[in-house]
Structure 1
Amino acid sequence: MLVTDIDDLSYVAVMYPGLDVYLADLADVLDLDFDTHTSLIDHPEYGARMREHAENTGLGPDGIEFQDLSWPG
């Protein structure tokens, strides 16, 4: 599950390792502690899935801001 923030600089990051964890957090089934949007990357159970998604999307462990994107031309 990706998070986007367009308030200041546009930002995209992997916030949840999957829809299952997002829905469980939304329903307050899980007790997840978020310091940042990408806090679950260090979670003992979900960290591996988070790192895999961050690598596969090219967003990296901290996400990416609009200023970090390289546009062709």
Structure 2
Amino acid sequence: MALLDNIPAAAPKIRPLAALGRLFGRLLDHAITPDSADEDRARRAFLQDMIGNCPDAFASEADVHSMMHMYSRRF
């Protein structure tokens, strides 16, 4: 019975769906502006150039993670 004495009478309510809703709501609130569209195009162009120039650099998942770490501002 000593173990049960340490358990609070009312456990906190956990609402994972509400947390997910807030997370996705924030992601969906991201408005696409001309600046962000240009940044997206630049990112895609960078990736296409990197893949075209160094296809071996993207041969495995570990390689992609390494590239994302090295060029973190470009991904």
- TM-score class, shorter-chain normalisation, is under 0.3
> Which has more radius of gyration?
2
In terms of fraction of residues, the more strand-rich structure is 1
Q: TM-score, normalised by structure 1?
A: 0.25
